[in-house]
Amino acid sequence: MYVCNCNGIREREVRAAIEAGARRPAEIFRACDSTPRCARCVCDMRELLDEQAEALKFAAE
Ligand code: FES
């Protein structure tokens, strides 16, 4: 599934960027060698970032 249609960034690429240390959408774009265009995907990226942060929180407990 595509998260960013402008740059063709898939969900798995976003998740890989997050696992590699990206903590903000700008860092995800950088990790994917892309730049924001319309920025409609930023909300979805933030949801994936929050999801990952929540998973790490549970893992730490
Ligand atoms: S959908 Fe990602 S920049 Fe447009």
Q: Ligand 1 centroid to 30 CA: how many Å?
A: 13
Q: Is the pLDDT of residue 61 over 90?
A: no
Question: What total of structural domains would you count in the chain?
Answer: 1
Q: Ligand 1 centroid to 15 CA: how many Å?
A: 16
Q: What is the pTM of this model?
A: 0.90
In angstroms, what CA-CA distances link 58 with 46, 51, 53, 54, 61?
18, 11, 9, 6, 5
Tens digits of per-residue pLDDT, 3-30? 999 999 999 999 999 999 999 999 999 9
CATH of the domain at 17: 1.10.10.1100
Domain that holds residue 40: 2-60
Q: Is the pLDDT of residue 41 over 90?
A: yes
Residues with CB under 6 A from ligand 1: 4-7, 36-41
Q: Mean of the pLDDT values across residues 39-61?
A: 92
